[in-house]
Amino acid sequence: MSFRARLEADETLFTAWSAIPDPLVAEALARSAYDLVTLDMQHGGHTTESILRGVGAVTLAGKPAIVRIPVGANDTASRALDFGASAVIAPMVNSLEDATAFVAAMKFPPVGERSWGPARTMMLHRIADMPGYLHTANRDTLAIAMVETRAALAVLDPVLALEGIDGVFVGPSDFSIALSDGARIDPVDAEMLKAAEDVAKRARAAGKFACVFAMSALSAARYRDMGFQLIAVNSDYGCLAAGAASFLEGLN
């Protein structure tokens, strides 16, 4: 079953979060129990080169790959799809214009303006039919806009109504900073959690996917209960730190 089909079947999927720009790390995450792997170019160390190789490593390990692009880097969104990514997350989508520009890069006409050049993704996913890919790519590759500011929250409904936006992704840390007017960073802040739950409900009501980042399994379970369907759980740095702590626990 495809990534999109699993979400449409109302499964909850958990994605690893790769900040370390080495395809071996991405492959190791893909071979773990995570359902997907997200490669982060915004705050992680990933580059165009590491995305090209990392998406391949994840896909060949049998898992879908997602790419989070840098702010406003819509040209990179198109390249990530050409490299084989199943979805792209765009940060700081704070206006309908931002969302429209993102869609333009993500979707082929008539929905968007994506340029043709999917040789790598067709090879990676064993697709031989070019017309078939043209007619299925807009549905099968997901455009996910981040909600992490007051401005994004204010335009949430128009963004959700936009053809070509498949889902929204809540960034709890930035959202907590925005909602507190810069007073605090707290990914489990009560006001932020209430707003996040509202985002999930509005996304689901609009027929779009609700996605979020969780720092821990406890937070991930809470978000699952709120209706989020795609949940990132910690990062590769966090996994390494937690694993080291677990192995060394009780030795001191």
CATH superfamily to which 3-248 belongs: Phosphoenolpyruvate-binding domains (3.20.20.60)
Model pTM score: 0.96
Sequence-ordered list of residues with C-beta below 8 angstroms from that of 108, at least 6 positions apart, any chain: 114, 116, 134, 137, 138
Contact 187, 143 (CB under 8 A): no
AA identity, residue 168: V
Let me know how long the chain is.
Answer: 252
Q: How far apart are CA 78 and CA 101, in angstroms?
A: 12
Residue-level pLDDT at 246: 87
Radius of gyration for the alpha carbons in the chain, expressed in angstroms and rounded: 17
Tell me the domain boundaries of the chain. Answer: 3-248
Q: What is the pLDDT of residues 185-212, one digit of tens each?
A: 999 999 999 999 999 999 999 999 999 9
Q: Which of 43, 46, 125, 135 is catalytic?
A: 43
Which regions in the chain score pLDDT beneath 50? none
Is 43 noted as a catalytic residue in this protein? yes
Q: What is the dihedral of CA 196, 200, 202, 208, to 10 degrees?
A: 140
Residue-level pLDDT at 97: 98
